[in-house]
Chain A
Amino acid sequence: MKIFVKKRYSDQEILESIRNNSEDRVLRFLYKEVLPSVRKYIVSNKGSIEEAHDIFQDAVIRFYHAVKQNRFRGDCSISSFIFGISKNLYLNSLRIKNRYDKQEEITDRHDDKNLLEDVISEERVNAVKDLMNQMGDGCKQLLTYTVYENLSMKEIVHKMGYSSEDVAKTYHYRCKKKLMDLIASKPYLLELLGNEHKASHIRRN
């Protein structure tokens, strides 16, 4: 008889999963370990469940961003890091609504100013959506498999019905190149999507 034991992932495993685009494992961990405390905190501070969920989502996105930019140094646990971000985001939203209670000060500051910037601003997301729509369904699907689901070329061959991994690689290369060409055709996208310190040096063709 098989005995199923729920594995409790370490922070290191979660960080590895984020880098490998293994969203399932990460989200399972976060829903179990972090979401309840965020929800409890926000609901007990005059917030609603919906607000708690919105804040949690933003905090997770910022956490991902922090991991990508190597800003998460691991001097606290992932749970307390995301909880800290959630708390700050909620207090900021309370300030905006003039509901901020002066008795409570922001004490946990795991993040810096840049971390609280909207990494997926509406403008950015709309620009990317527009780009992806111009890519065509085939490329969009292929890039979704590689970027969202982190599928291997072998799996992509199966899913997309390509004849071999070489064909899949070729299509993947073409799709990425097409994306670059589209960005090149709209110079403002370089400003929007490019690294800030590099953008000023960009020469236009």
Chain B
Amino acid sequence: MNTKHPISEEIDRYLRGQMNDEERKALEKRISTDADLQYEFALQSAAEEALYTWRLHGLKERMQQDLRASGKPGWYWYLIGLAALGCLFVVLTFSWKRTHPQETGVPTYPQEPKVSVDTLDSSNQRIVVNTTSNTTLYNRPKEPASPVASPTTEVNSAVPLQEAKTTPEYNINTQPERLPDPSTMPEKCPPNSIQFDFHAIESCENTSEGKIKLYRIKGGKSPYIYWLNSQKSSIPEFSFLAPGSYELKVEDNEGCRSIETIIIPAKACRQELHQAFQPEFESWKYAESISEACTLNVYNQSGRLVKQLWFQEGEEVAWDGRDMQGSFCEPGYYAFTINYEKKSANSGYITIMK
């Protein structure tokens, strides 16, 4: 330790006013006669003074901080006011858009999320189909997944058109209705008179989860009628669509129409299966055939890999319920994954029964 300038406890007590008169006078007398002690006293006193200045400076900084905050007593009211104005703006904008859909291009949705879709059956009878509407708007992809035709473009005949699927719940309306015929479009309709954007929401293969939503519908005269193949709707949305190509028509109040071909892309979905089997009597078999080589991994409940099997394209994916050592696995729940080289993996659960 550097003892060049040791701290004197005596001087410390003096500076802190902890000495009695007698002690203080005695020290002052020694300081006046001892040059070294005088110097040490000055140093120690300056150090205390520095710390004191440090403290006062800190005190001032703290007061500045406190008073800066209290000097603006209503700052939080400004924030609350701004937030309230923001909310009011949003509410007014939303309400205006709802009452002026043709000006803003935002479709008016009914209060209830119930969508009524009209379609024609084989005997040209109108069927009213009730589906559940999802009013969430999605962004239109920058690069459309389908060869989108302009209103005057020919429909892509290479892709077969699919009939829109219907839900089991429907009411038969006996009043027949004819499909719009492009040839009957009034002559006064200018080309591209109705413009709109749309979202095509993909669907899993072998399911009907796709959706088409129209928005920013401009031109023509509202109200519009929407046709998807033979489905007719007053709502710019079609649900429960299988992957495939659809023809969409938007018709205004004067019979002017725009036609677009829209493709609902198919996506590969993970399939979760849950199958049970008894290894003594049978093997577990994966329900689907595989189009490429894959690996089957089977895990127990603690996540430990109990079996790994490889299969070539076209082979039946199966497991005999035995672990790596060739013993039958204990009854219970197991998870499996089927990993392909290119496709996304499938997974599911297997129950081994006794």
Using a CB–CB cutoff of 8 Å, the interface residues on chain A facing chain B are 21, 23, 27, 31, 35, 49-50, 53, 56-57, 60-61, 64-65, 68, 119-120, 124-125, 127-129, 131-132, 143-144, 147-148, 173-174, 176-177, 179-181, 183-184, 189-190, 193-195, 198-199, 201-205
B45 with A194: CB separation less than 8 A: yes
Nearest CB on A from B14, distance (A): 12
Mark each residue of chain B from 35 to 61: 1 if its CB lies under 8 Å from any CB of chain A, else 0.
100110111111101111111111110
Which of B5, B45, B53, B60 is in CB contact (< 8 Å) with A198?
A: B45
A143 to B52, CA, bound (A): 11
Which of A125, A180, A203 is in CB contact (< 8 Å) with B53?
A: A125
For the residues of A in contact with B, the DSSP-based class is helix
Residues in A with CB closer than 8 Å to B70 are: 31
A21 to B54, CA, bound (A): 13
B63 at the interface (CB under 8 A from A): yes
Of the four ranges (under 10, 10 to 19, 20 to 34, 35 or more), the interface on chain B belongs to: 35 or more
Other A-B pairs, 8, CB within 8 Å; known A23-B59, A31-B66 = A27-B66, A31-B70, A179-B50, A180-B7, A181-B2, A193-B49, A194-B46, A194-B49
B88 at the interface (CB under 8 A from A): no
Mark each residue of chain B from 205 to 237: 1 if its CB lies under 8 Å from any CB of chain A, else 0.
000000000000000000000000000000000
**A-B pairs with beta carbons under 8 Å apart, 28 shown:** A21-B55, A27-B63, A31-B66, A31-B70, A53-B64, A53-B67, A53-B71, A56-B63, A57-B63, A64-B56, A127-B50, A132-B54, A147-B52, A147-B58, A177-B5, A179-B51, A181-B5, A184-B43, A190-B46, A193-B50, A194-B42, A194-B49, A195-B45, A198-B41, A199-B42, A201-B38, A203-B35, A203-B39
Greatest chain A CB density within 10 A among B7, B35, B42, B62 is at B42
Mark each residue of chain B from 67 to 80: 1 if its CB lies under 8 Å from any CB of chain A, else 0.
11011000000000
B287 at the interface (CB under 8 A from A): no
A183 to B5, CA, bound (A): 11
A61 with B59: CB separation less than 8 A: yes
| Residue in chain A with minimal CB distance to B68 | A53
